[in-house]
Amino acid sequence: MLIPARWLTVALLNLAIAAALGALLRFVFLHEVPGVEYRNVMHAHSHGAMLGWVFLALFAAYMQLAQPAAGRLRWYRRVFWAAEATVLGMFVAFSWQGYGAVSITLSTAHMLLSYGAVVLLWPDLRRQLAGRAALPYLLAGLGSVVVSTLGLWALAGIMSRPHPNTELYYLAIQFFLHFQLNSWFAFGVLGLVLSYFEAQQLPLHRGLLRRAFWLLVPSTFLTYGLAVAWAERHPLVYAVTGVGVVLQLLGLATWLRAVWPAWLALLPRLSPLLRALWAVGLGSFAFKGLIHAAVAVPYVAVMAFTVRNYVIGFVHLVTLGATTLTLLGLLHQVGALHLQRPAARVGAGLLLAGFLLTEALLFVQGSMFWLNWSFLPHYYLLLLLASLPLPAGALLLLASVRASRAEAAAPHGPRPNASLHPIRTAE
């Protein structure tokens, strides 16, 4: 079973659109754009990035590992293309009306399709990967998809009241985002990395991986208290959150220790660009754990949730750093992307550079806001310029995948080596 190249093309297209909308959000701070409502475009950007790029990329990689039978494969295809249809609709609907009847209907449809994806993947993964160290992580990611949507169902109930509780509204939104960013994306990527290491027979410490898993699972639930603490500043909330961040730090440290021998064995095979993608991607997971630990301190929590730059920087740390960069490095290693191609190499480099530059600007300016040090000179122009490499990089990667498809379709075009690439692209 191969990852369909069209699926990867579609996911990268969604990434390019989301990144372009992100650049537009930077531009409107410099010049007014007629007909552009900032909050509406922001919703289109965030939904497209999370549901159009990350969700579909993870679903495609999970599907390859699941190796579904021919009779079930058609249902995978239906779920993928139906989900993509909702994403394209959300790009338009959110940009046009924000949260309205059309955009909410499309979001609900995507949520129901995500349930279908879980129902398809769960038994197939258990059958194909029984006994593998990656399986618990992959299944935890799928479980998190379902758990996260409890926040959306609660949100519907909250908004149906004559006078919605704004605090409960905030907590429901944060519940969804927390289990998407810190559980579905995290467990999904960590599980895929482990599956690749196992397929390549790289050295892993299985006992430490089991220990890391049972530290990370409860930490995911307890660190939701970071959002609750902002609304409910109770000593018990801070105590629970403190336990959660300690478990998360221990879990991430244990996971990194367990895969360190595999990383050392893989390192000599990597080009400088690939080393950077893997290092920044996996390093972002560690940095996320440190940020959560810091936010458990009440003073820091107030600062983190008050300064919007920090919030945006953290979301991008997870979606772009930990998730996207790690996925790019992994997809190259397994033959789904060919980053040795000039266009793809430049595209990946631009994404890496755009991520690092925008994160630096967001966190530096956020710290200056908190310290009442005003603005960096030409901050919004610098942020726009730092954001432009992101859509440009995504478009170059998209062009590279399309070129690979054209070569593969040629009568004597190159074919990937199945013995070297456990995950491969195909028509």
- pLDDT tens sequence across 361-385: 999 999 998 888 888 999 999 999 9
Tokens of 379: 């901050």
pLDDT tens-digit series, residues 78-137: 999 999 999 999 999 999 988 888 999 999 999 999 999 999 999 999 999 999 999 999
Whether pLDDT at 326 is above 80: yes
pLDDT tens-digit series, residues 399-409: 988 877 666 66
Whether pLDDT at 234 is above 50: yes
Q: What percent of the chain has pLDDT over 90?
A: 70
Give dist(CA 279, CA 20) in Å, integer.
Answer: 26
Q: CA of 78: how far to CAs of 9, 83, 120, in Å? A: 17, 8, 11
pLDDT tier at 420, thresholds 50, 70, 90? very low
Note the pTM of the prediction, 2 decimals.
Answer: 0.92
Whether pLDDT at 229 is above 80: no
pLDDT of residue 416: 44
Tokens of 301: 């929590």
Average pLDDT over residues 212-234: 85
Give dist(CA 150, CA 311) in Å, integer.
Answer: 22
Give dist(CA 276, CA 326) in Å, integer.
Answer: 10
Determine contact, residues 226/296, Cβ cutoff 8 Å.
yes
pLDDT of residue 208: 97
pLDDT of residue 424: 36
* DSSP label at residue 50: I
Determine contact, residues 19/91, Cβ cutoff 8 Å.
no
Tokens of 55: 């969700």
Give dist(CA 153, CA 55) in Å, integer.
Answer: 19
Q: What percent of the chain has pLDDT over 70?
A: 93
Give dist(CA 384, CA 41) in Å, integer.
Answer: 16
Considering the domain 1-128, what is its CATH architecture? Up-down Bundle (1.20)
Give dist(CA 118, CA 115) in Å, integer.
Answer: 5
Q: Please state the domain extents for the chain.
A: 1-128
Average pLDDT over residues 170-191: 94
pLDDT tens-digit series, residues 252-273: 999 999 999 999 999 998 999 9
List the helix and strand counts (H, then E) for the chain. Answer: 19, 2
Rg from Cα positions in the chain: 21
| Span between the terminal Cα atoms of the chain, in Å | 11
- Token look-up 């600007």 returns 361
pLDDT of residue 372: 84
Higher per-residue confidence, 412 vs 348: 348
Q: Taking all residues of the chain, what is their mean pLDDT, rounded to a whole number?
A: 89
pLDDT of residue 408: 61
pLDDT tier at 1, thresholds 50, 70, 90? very low
Whether pLDDT at 197 is above 90: yes
Beta strands (DSSP E) in 26-97 are none
Beta bridge partners of 425: 3
Whether pLDDT at 412 is above 60: no
Average pLDDT over residues 53-70: 94
Average pLDDT over residues 210-216: 97
Lowest-confidence region among 10-14, 296-300, 335-339:
296-300
pLDDT tens-digit series, residues 272-283: 999 999 999 999
